[in-house]
Structure 1
Amino acid sequence: MPTAIAVTSADMALAPQDERTLPAVVLQGLDHLPLDQALSAVQTVLDQYGHLVVVFSRAAPLAVGRRLHTIRSLLESDRIALFRPDLPPLGLAVLARQLRQLASCDLSPGVLASAGRLLTHYIHCGALLGSVARLDRVPVGLTAHARSWVPGSQFGVLAHPVPHVVKVGPETSLPGPEFGTWMLTAPGQPPSDWVTETLAAQWNVQGLREVPPPAESAVWWGTGKFVEFAAYLPDLPVLYQLVTSVRQGVCHWCGIDVIGDRCVFCSAAPPSNDNQLTAR
């Protein structure tokens, strides 16, 4: 039984990367449904799949996060993992699709859910912005803020893995991945070929595709004038090798297989040795 990978809006469910990519479960409008209906919807998913990993954005309305935590608490389920990494919406949609790819493999629910934290390190994402005046999710210097008021200014912003902001010019570059990637772009209002031609060439991307921008992108970037981009590893064998090459452990609390230092289902961290007595 494959683990369900869920997103909280339909525009975060990207088209399949390959024929093995499983469809996303879309939990749209949970915060607007009566609580009993929302509980029933999530319980149905659990009954069908066994385990559920919900990937949602930090730009999502606060009510969405509260409702998800409420549902998890009321169902008293350790089979629901809530994953909210600090990625822009397009990068998050890419990550959710990678997990959907891996969900077709022989990975246990705990390892699959833990893989989300690992794979975030291999996603390079940002945007071309017409203004950084309202950008508060990436450190922006006073000079860049001042230049935002100059008509025609554009800024290249790398949000992850290392924040970086530059004013776009002939020699502008952003630090990119040191491995082969594909790039996904989501253009907002301003037409520009800087991302698809200049940046894509600098990063030596092996493929380029365009999708509509997620609705939460304008909130995340603080402006509707953006071209969002995300460079990522597209191939399932590479993703699978990355995940399976990491040492696995067993959560001391719920007993599920995990990778990393914290169980994503019960949130238990490894027991500390500080309180253990040493025989003398």
Structure 2
Amino acid sequence: MALPAQDERTLPAVVLQDLDKQPLEQALAGLQSLIDQHGHVIVVCSQAVSRGVERRLHTIRSLLESDRIALFRPDLPPLGLAVLARQLRQLASCDLSPGVLASAGRLLTHYIHAGALLGSVARLDRVAVGLKSHAKSWVPGSQFGVLAHPAPQLVKIAPGVTLPGPEFGTWMLAAKGQLQSDWVTGTLAKEWSVQGLREVPLPAESSAWWGTGRLIEFAAYLPDLSVLYQLATSVRQGVCHWCGVDVIGDRCVFCSATPPLFENQIPAG
């Protein structure tokens, strides 16, 4: 899901619709056109999409023999992923190099608190759930608050029950599925002291990701471009020894190369 622009500087998103269903030649031409137009392409992809989409992305990257396509599949629920994609679109208007911009995705992931209010956890397999919670999920009217990121946690909704939130100022997005409740927009938003709250449509992959359509998904995030830019530029940068792009961290997001080990050097970790 491509969220509306956060501000006037936010770059538009390009949605790769039905990538695994269109002819390979058409998909190749579409990605090549984006590379020709922008120089580098950062593909943000949900882990809830089909394996066919994942295979098609790797096939395209291989056939184009391009180190200018970064494939990024963070372990975020669909709404949290949409937030991250918009943050990268915000940063794309700044003076960041393609490698630093793509690497910033890993960094910004840590500042997103994403979860959902669920009417059932019986088919939830992306967050650890105990058998007791599974049994309770069959009780009519039971609801569960689930935090998937940054630290997975599940609670059964009751008076005074909440989830651990961010220790910094955030805005919140809420996306309603087939569940009626004001727990997210009322109780949770108040407990997390969010500075702003907006409702958006539910992403297409959300029901599959959470294992039910009876849900309200939420994500708390840093909205200000100045803060995002400060985070992205405050981390030590390096240069990929293989493809030459600037990077944050040890692994290049475009060619996947890691720093070479020299003689007598002990690998980190």
Query: TM-score, structure 2 length as denominator?
Result: 0.97
| Match of residue 16 from structure 2 | 27
Match of 1:187 among 164, 170, 176: 176
| Match of residue 17 from structure 1 | 6
The within-5 A match list for 1:205-220 is 205-220=194-209
Matched, 1:81 2:70: yes
> Partner of 2:83: helix, strand, or coil?
helix
| Match of residue 8 from structure 1 | none
| Match of residue 9 from structure 1 | none
Distance 2:264 2:95 in 1: 37
Match of 1:175 among 140, 164, 171: 164
Q: What code does the residue aligned with 1:187 have?
A: K
| Match of residue 43 from structure 1 | 32
Distance 1:64 1:105 in 2: 30
Could you list the per-position Cα deviations for residues 143-177 of structure 1 after superposition, in whole angstroms to 9, with x for gaps in the alignment? 11110010000000000000000000101110100
| Match of residue 48 from structure 2 | 59
Q: What code does the residue aligned with 1:65 have?
A: E
> Partner of 1:25: helix, strand, or coil?
coil
Aligned length: 266
Matched, 1:234 2:223: yes
What displacement does 1:230 show?
0.1
What displacement does 1:272 show?
3.0
| Match of residue 132 from structure 1 | 121
| Identical aligned residues as a percent | 79
Runs of 4+ in structure 1 displaced over 6 angstroms? none
Matched, 1:250 2:235: no
Give the root-mean-square deviation of aligned CA atoms: 1.0
Unaligned regions of 5+ residues in structure 1, if any?
1-11
The within-5 A match list for 1:143-158 is 143-158=132-147
Distance 1:15 1:233 in 2: 15
Distance 1:160 1:237 in 2: 23
Distance 1:261 1:226 in 2: 38
Query: TM-score, structure 1 length as denominator?
Result: 0.93
